[in-house]
Structure 1
Amino acid sequence: MIRLRRMLLKLISILAILYVVLCVAAFALQRSMLYPAPRTASALPEDQGFSRLPLEGGQFVDVLHLPAPPGAPTVVHFHGNGEQLLGQVRLGRRLHEWGLGFLAVEYPGYGASPGSPSEDGIYAAAEAALARLREQGVPAQRTVLSGRSLGTGVAVEMARRGHGSRVMLVSPYTSITDMAALALPFLPTALLVRDRFDTASKASEVDLPVLIIHGEVDALIPVEMGRKLGTRFPRATVETVVGAGHNDVLERSGTTLVDRMAAFALGGP
């Protein structure tokens, strides 16, 4: 009996050690999992609207800017965690065809931009891009904040800080803490997550028109998160897309949903 008890205690000790090691590994590796950070070796072509935006500390991020016609709104877009600035050209050109300006912001450590991504670092890049837009004569009243996947958390934070007049969210999550809990339900993710992007807790502070688009078979960010956010924002419209997943929610309909975003950005319902 004593021997069995010792064996059980030893087994429990080993499992406890393994659990602690797993927690430490999750904490240490979380940013590499959250930010896959695709890279581009060469500088981006300035003749296509790309330029470098200086940041504090001698760093920079690239931006893609297609200026708006006089008096028209500009869509400021923040991409997903597996995307990069080069992949936003098609979206930008389509919105530009609608008579909108388009400004997409790269994240530190993504594309050709140096550094390492973090929540605070991404917010700083977003703030710098919006400050440049103000210097060019585009006020918050003519700024529409847009985000996809990871970028939805950036768009909401910028809206909370007063930088826009409308918000468009494609495949949004309630928070990265909630996402981590879905992926690793056996870990104390509420204690481990460093970059939280807590959209759900900020939503009530964003009293702006919000358009939420979410695929109904999204296997990465459940559509229930989009619907939940629709109840948190004071003025939200939720549109779910039948048969659409996470990476094809805009693309599967051709230009239909991007055109829907453009109409919303121009002041439509």
Structure 2
Amino acid sequence: MKRTRSTSLRRWGVFLALPVLLFLAMNWLIRQMVYPAPPLGVPAAPPGLEDVYIPFSGEAKAHGWLFHAPAAADSTPVMLFFHGNGENLGALRLSGILADFQELSVSFLALDYPGYGRSGGTPSEAALLAAADSAFIWIKENFANSPKIICGWSLGAAVAIQTAAKHSRELAGLIALSPWASLPEVAAVHYPRWLANSLLDENYNSLEAASRVRCPALVIHGEQDAIIPAAQGEKVAANMGGEFRWVKVPQAGHNDLFSRQAVWEEIRSFLKALRESAPSKTPK
């Protein structure tokens, strides 16, 4: 009798544990989909770039590559760039995107997220935003007189918008490429909404944060983006708290956005307009 009762209790224990294990497994899977840090290693900064390590939480440091624009002056903008969730600095270099940014005649800091590349810590919404905030403060301290721009793509757009909302009045501009309205909203495109809402413990509410952005903003989205629908980017653009330009790139998707010449033309035009509108520092 005791053996039968013990066996029955074990079966009930397994039965009751299964939903918990399933929930934990699904939660792990969702987090891996949000933060699929690539296994590709990140080497020391290549020629023309400089390694930067920025403390952001306790002893954790975020790693970035810094590029100084040739013949940079105080009037030369400096850009803080946040990449997508499936990239790191090594991947950006191999894809040629960093080289494209070097052609913009601006200085920039491209940052790896916590848990990505050489950055310490573990990826989470709180950790990414803390690292982004520390990186912007670092830029303010090291480029005090330069116009400051924040740029991000996909997950990076969410980080960029949140950071811009916090430091809006210190910014010359914001560039958001393929932004989502919120993480639950984009998850609901691919999964049942009830499942996304029950498993996600992070929000990245770009729609709300956009309303607190006062600097000029450029929002670019691929018309055929099947990962983050362009309609979400359009909502984010329309909710900006200041002047904005909304661009939907014909026939462009999500992962091929940077390969479109129209994207770089829009970015150059936006940067040119910011330079022309910047107040002159020539003594009167």
- TM-score computed with the length of structure 1 as normaliser: 0.83
Q: How does 1:224-243 map to 2 (within 5 A)?
A: 224-234=231-241, 235-243=243-251
Aligned equivalents of 1:265, 1:165: Cα separation in 2: 9
Between stretches 158-167 and 74-83, larger displacement belongs to 158-167
Between stretches 215-224 and 129-138, larger displacement belongs to 129-138
Q: How does 1:87-166 map to 2 (within 5 A)?
A: 87-89=91-93, 90-139=96-145, 142-162=147-167, 163-166=170-173
SS at match of 2:264: helix
Q: How does 1:22-33 map to 2 (within 5 A)?
A: 23-33=23-33
Kept in 2, the 8 Å contact 1:230–1:238? The answer is yes
Instruction: Work out whether 1:245 is the aligned partner of 2:253.
Output: yes
Aligned residues: 251
Instruction: Work out whether 1:211 is the aligned partner of 2:212.
Output: no
Paired amino acid for 1:241: V
Instruction: Work out whether 1:175 is the aligned partner of 2:182.
Output: yes
Query: What is the deviation of 1:231?
Result: 1.6
Aligned equivalents of 1:18, 1:236: Cα separation in 2: 49
Instruction: Work out whether 1:200 is the aligned partner of 2:233.
Output: no
- Cα distance change of structure 1 residues 41 and 86 upon mapping to structure 2, 3 Å threshold: closer
- Cα distance change of structure 1 residues 199 and 186 upon mapping to structure 2, 3 Å threshold: closer
Aligned equivalents of 1:25, 1:187: Cα separation in 2: 17
- Cα distance change of structure 1 residues 228 and 103 upon mapping to structure 2, 3 Å threshold: same
Aligned equivalents of 1:54, 1:145: Cα separation in 2: 17
- TM-score computed with the length of structure 2 as normaliser: 0.79
Kept in 2, the 8 Å contact 1:173–1:225? The answer is yes
Query: What is the deviation of 1:91?
Result: 3.5
Kept in 1, the 8 Å contact 2:178–2:220? The answer is yes
Q: Which runs of 5+ in 2 are unaligned?
A: 1-15, 278-284
Aligned equivalents of 2:77, 2:45: Cα separation in 1: 25
Kept in 1, the 8 Å contact 2:174–2:218? The answer is yes
Kept in 2, the 8 Å contact 1:62–1:113? The answer is yes
SS at match of 2:260: helix
SS at match of 2:266: helix
Paired amino acid for 2:227: L
Aligned equivalents of 2:194, 2:24: Cα separation in 1: 10
Query: What is the deviation of 1:116?
Result: 1.8
Paired amino acid for 1:82: G
- Cα distance change of structure 1 residues 186 and 170 upon mapping to structure 2, 3 Å threshold: closer
Aligned alpha-carbon RMSD (Å): 2.5
Kept in 1, the 8 Å contact 2:54–2:138? The answer is no
Matched with 2:5 is none
SS at match of 1:267: helix
Between stretches 54-63 and 65-74, larger displacement belongs to 54-63
Paired amino acid for 2:60: Q
Aligned equivalents of 1:214, 1:27: Cα separation in 2: 29
Percent of pairs with identical residues? 31
